[in-house]
Amino acid sequence: MAILRILTRRVFIILNIVTVILFLLACANSFLAPGKLWLIALLGLFFPLLLLLLVCFFVVGIFLPGWRRWSLLSLVALIIGWSNIHSFLALHPGREFTAQKTPGSLRIMTWNIRSFDEFTTRKRGASGNREKMLTFIASQHADVLCLQEFFNSHFPADSCGIPYIQERLHFPYYFFSRDYVYGGGKYEAGVLIFSRYPIVDTMVMAYTRPGGFHSTESLIAANIHAGKDTIRVYTTHLQSVLFQQKDFHDLEIIKNVDDSILTASRAIAKKLGYAFRHRGEQASEVRAQLDKSPYPGIICGDFNDVPNSYTYYTIRKDWQDAFLQKGFGIGRTYKFISPTLRIDYILASRAFSVLQCRKFSLPWSDHNPVIADLQLSQ
């Protein structure tokens, strides 16, 4: 019995130390550029699990005599990683999102709509979700709407065309990146900003596409004249992992520990490493543009990275994360792979006050929309 107690204690200590090391490495993602260190960046995806394990080690150890000094090790790691914990978890319970906007506020909505889910649903032989998505967008009465993976058709009969949305949703002003053109110019795809207020100037910055990959959509900005003020709104869609159906199958192999786990793991790791590296470079480009803004700024979009990542910290810098300011919980915005992936954001410069923010859980895209009400500070 004494031998079992000693063995259990040693296992506890070893696992505790290993978890602390991995947790702190995951926290280091916030300032380590993921060039050659992308394996450390990969730990960021496991940050929620490492956090949970660390809390468990602390709680268990604090109640067991002789183990308490080791639980303090977990506590110290939690204190060191508080900035990452706070970025991962919003702590504002009980705040209801109200449909009524505060006078003088600006409602921002961002959503990766996956081409209104038309192509995905058609492949399954089902009716599209475009009408449901448009109806939801209309019901939120956003002043500025930022969409990623927007698909535009120049055929007048198509309800995915920009003129149709302008008329139906009452957004007279827009700016579209047109990153990809198909069918001899009849179809286009990219990121888009719709606005109820006049757009007085625009900017587009295309990212490099190494290796010929269709890696991403551009960073675009619109100077919007809202009332007496001019603000600059950015939206972008950073480097995707580019998972195909085979990759999701490989993830299932890894989960089920099949015989081909090594091959599957290598394939997934290669794509993750590629994405981490290029997102880090893109994040630096984005931050440089934000620093140049002569107006109060807002950036929203699909960053394809989690809140404790180099990408997120580089872009956010000293700006405010609307969800952290007024939301509660994890705020998952991407529906697959993990239940903890918040990769879609609304960030605002310090010139704004965040009045409210909500992430909606909807079934029509692989991403969930995020909405925030902002107001310029007096």
| The pLDDT of residue 71 | 85
DSSP code for 288:
H
Residues in the chain: 378
Asked if 359 and 331 count as a contact pair (C-beta separation under 8 A), the reply is yes
Q: In this structure, are residues 144 and 193 in contact, taking their beta carbons and an 8 Å threshold?
A: yes
Helix (H, G, I), strand (E, B) or coil at 211: helix
Query: What ranges do the domains of the chain cover?
Result: 2-88, 106-376
CA separation for the pair 237, 304 (Å, rounded): 8
Q: Given this model, what pLDDT does residue 6 score?
A: 74
* Cα–Cα distance for residue pair 283/290, rounded to 1 Å: 11
CA distance 305 to 44: 9
- Residues 41, 29 contacting (CB under 8 angstroms): yes
Q: What is the pLDDT of residue 266?
A: 58
Beta strands in 44-156 (DSSP E): 90-91, 106-112, 144-153
Rounded Cα distance between 215 and 281, Å, is 13
- From CA 215, how far away is CA 278, in angstroms rounded? 9
Fold type of domain 106-376: Deoxyribonuclease I; Chain A (3.60.10)
CA distances to 54, 111, 209, 360, 366 from 214, rounded to whole Å, are 39, 20, 6, 29, 19
According to the model, what pLDDT value does residue 161 have? 84
> What tens-digit pLDDT sequence spans the chain (378 residues)?
678 777 877 888 889 999 999 999 999 999 888 877 777 888 888 999 999 999 999 998 888 777 778 888 999 999 999 999 999 999 888 778 999 999 999 999 999 999 887 766 555 445 578 889 999 999 999 999 999 999 988 876 666 789 989 999 999 999 999 999 887 878 899 999 999 999 999 999 998 765 555 557 999 999 999 989 999 999 999 988 754 444 334 334 434 444 444 444 555 666 677 778 889 999 999 999 999 999 999 999 999 999 999 999 999 999 999 999 999 999 999 998 888 899 999 999 999 999 999 999 999 999 999 999 999 986
DSSP state of 377: -
Contact 193, 235 (CB under 8 A): yes
Q: Give the per-residue pLDDT at 158.
A: 66
309-318 pLDDT, tens per residue? Answer: 999 999 999 9
Q: How many CB atoms lie within 10 A of CB 27?
A: 24
List the end-to-end C-alpha distance of the chain, in Å, as a whole number. 69
